[in-house]
Chain A
Amino acid sequence: DAMVIQNPRYQVTQFGKPVTLSCSQTLNHNVMYWYQQKSSQAPKLLFHYYDKDFNNEADTPDNFQSRRPNTSFCFLDIRSPGLGDAAMYLCATSPGSSYNEQFFGPGTRLTVL
């Protein structure tokens, strides 16, 4: 009964080689988020979608892009991964109203060689 699914769970890429991470949800939530988390630091919000409305955090590098083709799926594209992009990438969803819990996926651990 997985609610937020991320694929792959582990991704190894080479420096500069584009990579796409996938997230899907069975909760029919309006909002989907992408976070980057390094070494037990706080999750850092990269983007979020409210339905199809895309919201980019001011400090998210241009190297990161996102797509949400439908309610269930959201993708994170890293166009030219650098060593500093190695991290856990967490997808989360929420219904989109006040007082609502965020549901996190299991994360994708990205390694950049």
Chain B
Amino acid sequence: GENVEQHPSTLSVQEGDSAVIKCTYSDSASNYFPWYKQELGKRPQLIIDIRSNVGEKKDQRIAVTLNKTAKHFSLHITETQPEDSAVYFCAASRAYKYIFGTGTRLKVLA
């Protein structure tokens, strides 16, 4: 079946450093790629998304890049802060069906 691989599963960075999380999807028909941040005990919340007709999107300290040929997309967080610590999920979507990656636990060390 269709799947989304996400790496790394855990990531520790020093405050102020950058963090990169990578995902690879299998369904070439996927056309929408959201990233969710989930804090402990809370709901997943959308932090940034990208459509298949766009290669890169940036929102303040967060950016996402998409390589459709390679079926890769990545989340980049710059100038990390302790409040960025959470679990991050990527997803690949076709129509209204979403397939989630396995998640990355990000720890930002003060």
> With A and B bound together, what is the CA distance between A90 and B32 in angstroms?
21
Interface residues of B (CB under 8 A from A): 31-32, 34, 38, 40, 42-46, 49, 51, 87, 89, 93-98, 100-103, 105
Cβ contact of B96, chosen from A40, A90, A97, A107, cutoff 8 A: A97
> With A and B bound together, what is the CA distance between A93 and B94 in angstroms?
15
Contact A99 B51 (CB under 8 A): yes
Q: Is A102 an interface residue (CB 8 A)?
A: yes
Contact B45 A104 (CB under 8 A): yes
Contact with B along A27-50 (1 / 0, CB 8 A): 000110000000011110100101
Interface residues of A (CB under 8 A from B): 30-31, 40-43, 45, 48, 50, 90, 94-102, 104-107
A43, A48, A106: which has the most chain B beta carbons within 10 Å? A43
Give chain A nearest CB distance to B98 CB in angstroms.
Answer: 6
Q: Is the interface of B mostly helix, strand, loop or mixed?
A: strand
Give chain A nearest CB distance to B47 CB in angstroms.
Answer: 11
| Given A98-B31, A102-B34, A107-B42, 7 additional A-B pairs, CB 8 A | A30-B96, A40-B38, A40-B105, A41-B103, A98-B93, A104-B43, A106-B42
Determine the residue in chain B with the shortest Cβ distance to A95.
Answer: B96
**Smallest CB-CB A-B distances: 10 pairs:** A104-B43, A42-B100, A99-B32, A96-B96, A31-B96, A40-B87, A101-B46, A104-B44, A99-B51, A94-B96
The answer to whether residues A102 and B103 also contact, given A40-B38, A90-B44 and a CB cut-off of 8 A, is no
